[in-house]
Copies of this chain bind each other. A is one copy, B any other.
């Protein structure tokens, strides 16, 4: 079986394109964030909350990946920022070449923040670098607190864990302390924000996190 060598070849080619993208993002001072999660954890809702809070003058763009349908792009385009759907047609994750292609007709000099919503899949997208500054994993409390242990690669590779749907905590068997502990067992340095896209609780903390990343990015660019 030559599956592993081919898998490595595909990943190596993906890493090559991702490295090029990362360089272009640095050249244009773009902060690129890659949102990953299970289906239905709330990536699109989180982006809705995020875009809603931005002033129209903010230079934000959105790429949203899905296997079928452009539902998410329709939901997100309402906020007036450049938004593009990447329909993978069966592929279970976004790849760097898809990002490269989607960006081909956008002027990168007009973008400060590029938000990428990956396909809903807590496994495969962890292996594909998109040139992002950080992966952000969204976990809904309805999924259970054991998920970091059961899907460790995604939590290991994410800089931030967004625990979403905390409004459901009274109704689901989910132990917050366990979830935090399991996530840190897999990835000791992971940051954690708890929020609800439905009620808005915790959203300001998420907005401050993005603002902080945008500022520290500019500072580090100014230094170079």
Q: Which residues of A contact B (CB under 8 A)?
A: 1-3, 6, 10, 38-41, 66-69, 71, 90, 92, 119-124, 140, 142-144, 146-147, 149-153, 165, 167-168, 171-173, 198
Q: Which residues of B contact A151 (CB under 8 A)?
A: 39, 67-68, 120
Q: Which residues of B contact A39 (CB under 8 A)?
A: 38, 122, 143, 147, 150-151
- Determine the distance from Cα of A92 to Cα of B150 in the docked complex, in whole angstroms: 11
In contact, A147 and B3 (Cβ under 8 angstroms): no
Smallest CB separation, A108 vs chain B (Å): 26
B123 touching A142, Cβ below 8 Å = no
| Chain B positions within 8 Å of A92 at CB level | 92, 121, 123-124
- Smallest CB separation, A214 vs chain B (Å): 30
- Looking at the assembled complex, report how far the CB atom of A207 sits from the nearest CB atom of chain B, in whole angstroms: 22
A142 touches B168 (CB 8 A): yes
Can you show 21 pairs from A to B with CB atoms below 8 A apart?
A1-B10, A38-B39, A38-B120, A39-B143, A39-B151, A40-B143, A40-B144, A41-B143, A67-B123, A68-B151, A68-B152, A92-B124, A121-B123, A121-B124, A124-B124, A142-B142, A142-B143, A142-B165, A142-B172, A168-B168, A168-B171
Residues on B with C-beta less than 8 A from A68 are 149-152
CB pair B124 A71 closer than 8 Å: no
Contact between B38 and A150 (Cβ–Cβ < 8 Å)? no
- The reply to whether B150 and A69 contact each other, CB–CB distance below 8 Å, is yes
Residues of B within 8 Å of A140, CB to CB, are 40, 142-143
Nearest CB on B from A44, distance (A): 9
| Distance in Å: Cβ of A195 to nearest Cβ of chain B | 15
Chain B residues with Cβ below 8 Å from A168 are: 142, 168, 171-172
Measured between beta carbons, the chain B residues less than 8 angstroms from A38 are 38-40, 120, 122, 143
Q: A66 contacts which chain B residues (CB < 8 A)? A: 150
Identify A171's interface contact among B41, B90, B124, B167, CB under 8 A.
B167
**Assembly CA distance A146 to B143 (angstroms):** 17
Known interface pairs A6-B6, A40-B142, A142-B168; A71-B120 also in contact (CB < 8 Å): no
Given A38-B40, A41-B143, A140-B143, 18 other A-B residues pairs in contact with their CB atoms under 8 A? A1-B10, A6-B6, A38-B122, A38-B143, A39-B122, A39-B143, A39-B147, A40-B143, A67-B123, A69-B146, A69-B150, A92-B121, A119-B123, A124-B124, A140-B142, A142-B142, A142-B143, A168-B172
